[in-house]
Amino acid sequence: MSICVLAQRLTQGADLKAAIQAMVRQHGITAGSLASCVGCLTTINLRLAGAEATLVRHGPFEIVSIMGTLTPDHQHIHISVADDKGSVFGGHLLEGNIVGSTAELIIHSYSQLRFSREFDPATGYTELLIKNT
């Protein structure tokens, strides 16, 4: 399987989720994953476990972990950030996570695969479908 590596440095004020969505569209990614993102955020907006509540806080925050699967129509991304006291917050990345000074983003794209999402009545959520192209 061939992997295409895409890298972009996001600058202050960029919305992290919107920037990832734009890269997926711009590069025609049909199946992708987040390999890395090192940087900081001034605002976080996370959907917490159970999908009932969101957490909005103003920083500074360091990105300590990020992972996700990328489809043309949906990016399922989890992120953990640490505040200036070392407390860690994590959840689903929503729009409104604003880059502080920088975010160094690395995405992997898999040309032989196509990711999509389909509702699964067993879980009650749209779940990942993986097809070979």
Question: What does the pLDDT look like over 8-43, one tens digit per residue?
Answer: 999 999 999 999 999 999 999 999 999 999 999 999
Is the pLDDT reported for residue 4 higher than 80?
Answer: yes
Extract the runs of DSSP E, i.e. beta strands, from 1-133: 3-11, 32-47, 54-70, 75-82, 88-93, 98-110, 113-120, 125-132
Tokens of 29: 């990614």
Is the pLDDT reported for residue 129 higher than 80?
Answer: yes
Provide the pLDDT for residue 100: 97
| Residue whose structure tokens are 């917490």 | 48
What pTM does this model have? 0.92
pLDDT band at 50 (very low <50, low <70, confident <90, very high): confident
What is the share, in percent, of the chain residues with pLDDT greater than 90? Answer: 92
Q: Check if the beta carbon of residue 123 is closer than 8 Å to that of residue 71.
A: no
What's the chain's average pLDDT?
95
Is the pLDDT reported for residue 78 higher than 90?
Answer: yes
Provide the pLDDT for residue 131: 96
Provide the pLDDT for residue 99: 98
